[in-house]
Copies of this chain bind each other. A is one copy, B any other.
Amino acid sequence: MTFPDPNLDHIFRPRSVAIVGASNDPSRISGRPLRYLKERGYKGKIYPINPTRDVVQGMKAWPSLADLPEAPDVAILAIPSTLIPGVLRDGAVIGLKGAIIMSSGFAEAGEEGAVLQAEITAIAQETGIRILGPNCVGLFSTNINFYGTFTQSIDRDVPPLGGVAVVSQSGAYGGYIAYLASQRGLGINYWVTTGNEADLEVGECIAWLAGRDDVKVIALYLEGVRKGPAFREGLARARAAGKPVIAMKVGRSAAGEKAAQSHTASMAGSDDVYDAIFRDYGVYRATTTEEQLDIAEACLTGPYPVGRKLGILTLSGGVGVQMCDAAEVYGLDVATMPEDAGRKLKKLLPFAAVGNPIDTTAQVMNDMSLLSENIRIVLEEGGYDMIVFFLTTTPAADAYAIPIRDAILKGLRGQKDKLVVLCMGAREEIRKSYREMGFLVYQDADRAVQIAGALTHFGQAFATVPRHAPVPLGRRVEGTGPMSEHAAKKVLASAGVPFLTEVLATTAEEAAKAAKTAGGPVAMKVASPDIQHKTEIGGVALNVATVNVRAAFHRLTHNVAEKAPDATLEGILVAPMAPKGIEVIVGTITDAVFGPVVMFGMGGILVELVPDVTFQPAPFDLDTAREMVARIKAAPLFDGYRGAPKADTEALAQLLSNLSLFAAANAGTLQSIDLNPVLVLEDGKGVVALDAVVERRSA
């Protein structure tokens, strides 16, 4: 699916704005937008609308949208919710293009509000007016001084100009990070809160922002996405444009998910599915607000390393060890120094540790050229993609602050593409003087390595060529509710899921014949759409020798007649006993927001308590399926672990991809598929699903 370029210029960069319900009191919610626009020097036309006043906050006011001399690009609506549909229709008549609805009383407020919100959505679709909100805090665009918001967080200070864009479903969170950004001098060019998302949602906002040259990085706050395809489109555009998205997605805990649902009207998808979507588009998931802002700030500096090789430098040991630990957590490779480079370093600094971490020792303080040369060797000859350098508190001493900085700069000459992150204790003014020379500077060693990891995360995401999703196979699942095992297996087999050759025998003769064909002991079980728990009614016989098949047939049918007399018996399934293989679970779920998602993990009861599973949105190709197989922790089991034969991971990947195509093609009718267990046989012998449960959507 591809989308047209979203044109939201009239909302984010309006040339004129009406404020419907503008209050004369500049401290009130309905008075603040006008005050902010006036105070901060918005250059477009401002039309306060107030039927009871000629002048509002010193400006000429108009009684209604219909009375305006022109159609404004956008109208800010701060009036009771029930009046909103009427005002929107008035706006449509004069050619209004966009609306920012701050009022609450919609889907978040119960059923009546939900009806009102649906009406607004319908108006947006009918009239083409794009709507932000309702129940949102608005937006601001710093470089045209457009403050279409009532957030109190910018009452005193506003964030400076800069390449960060903030997209937040929560007005409170958005306001909070706007405040923190202004405190730390982090520049935000665009800031938008999406509220109930009756029309515009995060995805389209991201897509528009991704296309702006004045946006370098996007900080996102999510409780739950409403429109999966638009969200993915937004993320795809951001990645294609090389713009990092740093997401704070809340609701990962059970309590958090409950709280998110009570707080907004959003339908939270499963957190695992979000992780899968984020992975697909290279979104970085932050867990703290400070982390989110630190990474956003670092992205403005860059660069984004494509490789993971980290050189750790220290002026003194100890903290180097801490940084090694951090490197493991953040996915960086503390690769050993190549021998040649190590020898050169040792010649330069005989007392230095030259492995990695590289401990220069304080010797370099006596001759700063040694430091420059050390850095040159590490980057040029050590082959590292980046370095993190722990400078202790040495730069805190006035005598050293600038000489060290310049010695590092000298060592970096001709290495501008390499990432250099510094960790040091020094006064803010000194750290600032380093930042001004293009260094990333942190006081916490863990954070310094985390930043290197985050920038590498984006470097690798941007270097990955997005795969084209394969075309789903034709639709095959009709009807509603559970399918019988036999029907499920039949339709899945036609989609490329291998099962044991299974014969539905309706007579003892047919059963005996099937067993003979199978050529060994067989498993027999009753086939009935009405019987879910076959074992409980004596409906399963395992390891039945060929000579005993007839008797077993009669016993099983007898058991059904006795224990489940009302069940429709389709016959007795006869299948060979399962071969030996590694037990895995494969399945699909249908996420309310993102549609079909394939799950894969290790089988057995333990997996529920110590999960080792991975999710991948469907459909996907064979390469993606191979990555999925390699992703679980138990993956080495497939590669001939402890002398066992290598398993047929290629067949497993094929199964996963096949299932993803099937699930995507049948997304409209399918609820879930469970293949449990699937046996992964020895390499070359394929995989086989022993059981299949297919659940269709309820009517």
A-to-B contact residues, CB < 8 Å: 152-153, 155-156, 169-173, 175-176, 179-180, 183, 221, 223, 248, 250-256, 258-260, 262-264, 287-290, 314-322, 324-325, 327-329, 334, 353, 355-357, 359, 392-394, 396-397, 425, 427, 443-447, 602, 604-606, 609-610, 612, 633-637, 641-642
Contacts and interface: CB of A to CB of B under 8 A. Distances in A.
Given A250-B321, A262-B353, A425 B606 contact: no
B263 A320 contact: yes
9 contacts: A156-B396, A156-B397, A180-B425, A253-B325, A256-B321, A256-B324, A259-B355, A602-B610, A610-B633
A468 B447 CA distance: 41
A322 B156 contact: no
Contact of A392 (B172, B256, B289): B172
Contact of A253 (B250, B251, B327): B327
Nearest to A193: B318
A290 B153 contact: no
A324 B263 contact: no
A281 B362 CA distance: 37
B254 A328 contact: yes
Nearest to A365: B152
Nearest to A250: B321
A173 B253 contact: no
Contacts of A393: 152-153, 175-176, 179
Contacts of A170: 317-319
B353 A263 contact: yes
B290 A443 contact: yes
B612 A634 contact: no
Nearest to A355: B262
A221 B641 CA distance: 38
B221 A318 contact: yes
A359 B172 CA distance: 12
Contacts of A175: 392-393
B179 A444 contact: no
- Choose among A169, A329, A610, A612 the residue with the greatest number of B CB atoms under 10 Å from its CB: A610
Contacts of A248: 322
- Choose among A259, A604, A609 the residue with the greatest number of B CB atoms under 10 Å from its CB: A259
B176 A392 contact: yes
Contact of A328 (B221, B253, B359): B253
Nearest to A137: B316
A602 B604 CA distance: 13
B609 A637 contact: yes
A446 B328 contact: no
B319 A172 contact: yes
Nearest to A445: B289
Given A250-B321, A318-B170, A443-B290, A394 B152 contact: yes
Contacts of A641: 605, 609
A376 B325 CA distance: 44
B609 A324 contact: no
Contacts of A317: 170, 172, 259, 263-264
- Choose among A221, A263, A427 the residue with the greatest number of B CB atoms under 10 Å from its CB: A263
Contact of A318 (B171, B183, B633): B171
- Choose among A353, A393, A604 the residue with the greatest number of B CB atoms under 10 Å from its CB: A393
Contact of A256 (B223, B328, B359, B602): B328
A636 B609 contact: yes
Nearest to A635: B609
Given A250-B321, A253-B327, A328-B255, A179 B425 contact: yes
A425 B153 contact: yes
B445 A316 contact: no
A253 B321 CA distance: 9
A330 B610 CA distance: 19
A65 to B, nearest CB: 28
Q: Nearest 5 CB-CB pairs, A to B?
A: A170-B318, A256-B324, A253-B328, A172-B316, A288-B446
A564 to B, nearest CB: 20
A445 B290 CA distance: 9
A445 B289 CA distance: 7
Contacts of A444: 288-290
B609 A327 contact: no
A39 to B, nearest CB: 15
A639 B179 CA distance: 50
Given A251-B321, A609-B636, 20 more contacts: A172-B315, A172-B319, A172-B392, A176-B393, A183-B425, A183-B427, A223-B318, A250-B321, A251-B324, A253-B324, A253-B325, A253-B328, A258-B324, A259-B320, A262-B353, A263-B320, A264-B317, A288-B444, A289-B445, A610-B610
